[in-house]
Amino acid sequence: MMQTTKARFAFALLVPGLFALSISEAAAQKQSANAAAAARAECFRQANEAVSNVVMASPAATSERNSRGVAAYRECARKSGIRP
């Protein structure tokens, strides 16, 4: 009987702690996801800026725009530490 009481008491102390830990872990993951989303948005902005600098005078300009945009995005992603 005494062991059951001790076990229940230990369980009652342990459960709220585990619950609080899981909540803080979820909040940390959400913050991390928000930071990655902000970094991706900045990389897309930089890629669009690089693309807008290419003048569309010839059909080859489309290929140049695409390659500059991809290169700018990948460089930004590498600097930010996110997956491109």
What is the value of pTM for the model shown?
Answer: 0.59
More confident residue, 3 or 65: 65
pLDDT per residue as tens digits for the range 15-35: 676 666 666 666 566 667 788
Q: Which of 2-6, 9-13, 71-75 is predicted most confidently?
A: 71-75
More confident residue, 55 or 40: 40
Contact predicate 27/35, CB 8 Å: no
CA distance 68 to 46: 10
Give me the residue spans of the domains in the chain. 2-80
More confident residue, 76 or 14: 76
What does the buried/exposed string (b/e) look like for 24-35 if buried means 16 or more CB atoms within 10 Å of the residue's CB? eeeeeeeeeeee
Question: In which region does residue 81 sit, left (phi positive, over 0), alpha (psi from -120 to 50) or beta (all else)?
Answer: left
